[in-house]
Structure 1
Amino acid sequence: MDLDKVFYKNLFKNLFTDPFVVEYWDGESERYGDGDGKFKIILREPIPKSEIIGDSSLAFGEAYTIGKIQIEGSVRNVVELLYNNNDSFLHRNPTSLKLARFLSNGLKRSKENVQFHYDIGNDFYQLWLDDTMTYSCAYFRHPEDTLTKAQKNKIDHILRKLNLQQGQRLLDIGCGWGELIITAARKYGVKALGITLSQEQNDKVWERINNEGLYNLVDVQLLDYRELKNQTFDRIVSVGMLEHVGKKHLGEYFATVQRLLTEGGISLLHSITGRDGRGTNSWIEKYIFPGGYIPRVSELIRFMEDFNLYLLDVESLRNHYTRTLEHWAQNFEKALPIIRGNKDETFIRMWRLYLNACAASFHSGNIDVHQFIFTKGPNNELPWTREYIYSHVS
């Protein structure tokens, strides 16, 4: 008797609610559930049981990445079914990951972590991001919005929330490829500083500043936010950056924002949030975002209170991120003929799994994304209602 196969048969027995088929390494196929299989899992070779028991998420993620496991059907559907099963391995956190959470993201490590993900190359990201090169959750005012339109909606939504006034100083912590700071300068006449740890992003933003002649309003620096000294800003925004800070440094982030904000200044934080305190997924931690940590809403609010930051508004954009990731995943597949020119199949499977698993995670409610508006100390000059955010939206 093949003990490995017995182990797998027991593992798959209650893993999915939809019917599916498993094809084993010796050619045997087994059907699970009633009806036609919605997808097929092909095991080219067994994964050691010790790896599955020790860290199932990492073991299966690596097996898919290197081709030991193949999926015929929707990768996203398979992952989402796992998230919807509270007993699946995606809801278990190994001891190794719990320990990894507490590794310190100092200045050197933070830069290395960011460059690991973002310095793959601007040419790669241009293939599947939108025209604005915005790599964060878009904002779909209408379901039929294109990705580019939705990303411009998101930038506009954020800038309205900040209640910008001409001549103010704006800091964007983790400015990406610069769409927000450039739009803020053009539309509101603010002086905007973007900071990033990615050399590729820094170079692209400078190219845009030069092309648009915005030297007097926009600046970008290759800098860690903790290195900013002797400056204050009327507005501070951070979109999709806090996830890189790490659990041990959340307090340091809010302390820095508090230090850099003028009295009564407004900050908007846009961050992925978790529900159960697990923080991250071990496969994501190893292959996509080393050093990352997804905080709970309650953690973030507690730090705001600790540093005399007054919370004004919280908005969930979870469904918007699902839709954003659907666009990214589709664009990625369309770009495969070009991507295969300089990336191997392991890289392609890794990114396919990442984009589809994230879409599944948001759609299942496993993770969320929130925008927080808060001020340094009480600000009694802001509009009394949210009409200033929505009054000009059609």
Structure 2
Amino acid sequence: MFPLSHMLKAFVRTGTLKVIDAEGRMHVFSGTPSPTVTMRLSDRSLYHKLFLNPELHAGEAYMDGRMSFEDGSTIGDFLTLFSMNRSTLANYPLQSVLKAISRNLKRFQQANPVGKAQKNVAHHYDLGNEFYKLFLDEGMQYSCAYFTSDDDTLEEAQQNKLRLIASKLQLKPGLKILDIGSGWGDLALYLAATEDVDVTGVTLSKEQHALSNEKARRAGLSHRVRFELIDYRNVEQRFDRIISVGMFEHVGVHHYGEFFAKINALLDDDGLMVLHSIGKMSPPGTASPWLRKYIFPGAYSPALSEVFPVVEQASLWVTDLEILRLHYAKTLNHWHRRFEANRAKIAAMYDERFCRMFEFYLISAETMFRTGSQLVFHMQLARKRDAAPIVRDYVTDLQREYKSKETQRLKALNHTELTPA
């Protein structure tokens, strides 16, 4: 197993990794006590592949069944162990060189010009609405939820998120709102149901575009909510409010200047923008090569130090910043459990390799939010320093007001359903 065994000796500083090689021999790599993971490699070519690029080839080996786990260990246990020891791997000489090369290629890895951006989005988001219905909440929100309690259901936590974002937008009758990367439309519909506002959502996903407009029609809101299949860079109208949830990760570092300059151009003088994005608390780096190849081509979760300078260059005020730390780990855990509950259906739609790929994605992402450096940030932006109140109490006050409106709508709906025609 040399040179893989040499790297694993340096890698494992926390826990124990037991590796059964293709010849059936056991190799033990130990650091501090617990956790212990037993892994079997059934392909001798993995010895060199895992040494050269462990983040890419570990995922591929699991997808293909060439990496498996025994003695009660799971892929989740392995990814937790990997995350706990990630810093030692980064300092291994060869990995340091590969990381440096990858950083120099960031411009090409994250290239998202008009046209290519749509192809990158289609790779993941056009897998089929029926697939996403099997593990997302009822509103099909594919972004971090907001858990005010560990007892919150996924639906409750996603509703909390909508309410939190709406409060930061300070809804008022007559506002024109742009939703960049509008997903399956639940946020836009929530805003329009909460206040008499006009919402335009833009997406690059054909599947999301079609279903979002259908949902607006069914909700009786299509006169105030519309979704367009267009790149945000081609939007020309100005807006009172702009919201973007889970889209900034697909922009690419070298397009940040273009993004924030466009926000400045689209935002009215007294307007507000709320940016909801994955980021990280560590210095700038690169995206996982496996994630970039199989899940999100062109995507990258930035360090905050990569965002603030570009915001400053775009002459925008950061009027509020909130960091959500464990909320996405909880969200991903809910998604994974729902995914596993529907695994047979998903395998029938695709195949077992696809299931292993998506399982690896969901678990590795949860691990990075639970033990790694990933986070979610809400950045409120404005062209003027006083566009938002200078005391933050309004965020809490408006959440209570909007929750009251939700309760009133639910009571009215239940009353309508119970009243004879």
TM range (shorter): over 0.9
Q: Pick the structure with more helix per residue.
A: 2
Amino acid at match of 1:146: T
Q: TM-score scaled to structure 2, two decimals?
A: 0.87
Quote how far apart the aligned CAs of 1:37 are. 7.3
Moved more, 50-59 or 278-287: 50-59
Q: Counterpart of 2:143 in 1: which secondary structure?
A: coil
Partner of 2:106: 101
1:1-394 matched pairs, under 5 angstroms: 5-16=1-12, 17-33=14-30, 38-48=36-46, 50-72=48-70, 73-85=73-85, 86-88=87-89, 92=96, 93-94=98-99, 97-103=102-108, 104-229=111-236, 231-274=237-280, 275-380=282-387, 382-391=388-397, 392-393=399-400
Q: What displacement does 1:110 show?
A: 0.2
2:184 is paired with a residue whose SS is coil
**Contact kept in structure 2, 1:273 and 1:297, CA below 8 Å:** yes
State the Cα deviation string for residues 236-275 of structure 1 (Å, max 9, x = none).
0101101101121011100111100000210000111132
Alpha-carbon distance in 1 for matches of 2:343, 2:113 = 36
- Separation in 1, partners of 2:220, 2:105: 44
| AA aligned opposite 1:43 | L
In the TM superposition, residue 21 of structure 1 has moved relative to its aligned partner by: 2.4
SS at match of 1:265: strand
Cα distance in structure 2, aligned partners of 1:217 and 1:181: 10
Structure 1 counterpart SS, 2:137: coil
Query: Secondary structure of the equivalent of 1:154?
Result: helix
- My pick for the range that moved more, 256-265 or 6-15, is 6-15
CA positional deviation for 1:13: 2.8
Tell me the amino acid that sits aligned with residue 25 of structure 2.
E
Distance 1:47 1:366 in 2: 31
- Report the alpha carbon displacement of residue 289 of structure 1 after superposing the two structures with TM: 0.6
What is the rounded CA distance, in whole Å, between the counterparts of 1:297 and 1:227 in structure 2? 27
Is this contact kept in 1: 2:274–2:380, CA < 8 A?
Answer: yes
Tell me if structure 1 keeps the 8 A contact 2:7–2:51: no
Q: Give me the whole-angstrom Cα distance separating, in 1, the residues matched to 2:18 and 2:118.
A: 44
1:356 partner letter: I
Counterpart Cα distance in 1 of 2:327 and 2:136: 15
Let me know the Cα RMSD of the aligned residues: 2.0
**SS of match in other structure, 2:24:** coil
Instruction: Tell me how far 1:95 sits from its aligned partner.
Output: 5.4
Counterpart of 1:317, as a letter, is L
Counterpart CA distance in 1 for 2:327 and 2:199 is: 27
SS in 2 for 1:177: coil
Unmatched segments (≥5 aa) in structure 2: 404-421
Q: 1:300: Cα distance to partner?
A: 1.3
Superposed CA deviations along residues 334-389 of structure 1, whole A, max 9, x for unmatched, are 11011111221211111111111111111123221111011013335x33322211
CA distance in 2, matches of 1:204, 1:198: 10
User: Aligned residue pairs: how many?
Assistant: 388
Kindly tell me: are residues 87 and 160 of structure 1, through their superposed partners in 2, closer, same or farther at Cα, counting changes over 3 Å?
same
**For the residues of structure 1 that align with 2:47 and 2:23, how far apart are their CA atoms?**
18
- Cα deviation for residue 68 of structure 1 reads 1.3
* Identical pairs, percent: 35
1:97 CA displacement: 3.2
- Cα deviation, residue 51, structure 1: 3.3
Cα 1:70–1:48 shift into 2, 3 Å? closer
Pairwise CA distance, 1:10? 2.8
Cα separation, 1, equivalents of 2:53 and 2:6 = 17
- Separation in 2, partners of 1:295, 1:218: 31
Q: Distance in 2 between matches of 1:74 and 1:261?
A: 48
| 1:42-90 alpha-carbon deviations (Å, 9 max, x no partner) | 1011235553344221122212221211134232332232222211259
Contact 1:21 1:31 survives alignment (8 Å): yes
Moved more, 46-55 or 318-327: 46-55
Equivalent pair of 2:243/2:274 in contact (CA under 8 Å): yes
CA contact (8 A) 1:22 1:29 kept: yes
* Cα distance, 1:45–1:156 mapped onto 2, change above 3 Å: same
Distance 1:48 1:81, change over 3 A: closer
Structure 1 pair 128–288 and aligned structure 2 pair: CA distance change class (3 A): same
Q: 1:204-251: CA deviations, max 9, x gaps?
A: 10110111111211010001000112x100000101101101121011
DSSP 3-state at the match of 1:148 = helix
The answer on whether the counterparts of 1:280 and 1:293 sit within 8 Å (CA) in structure 2 is yes
Give SS of 1:175's match. coil
Q: Using a 3 Å threshold, how does the CA distance of structure 1 residues 30 and 77 change in structure 2: closer, same or farther?
A: same
CA distance in 2, matches of 1:306, 1:36: 47
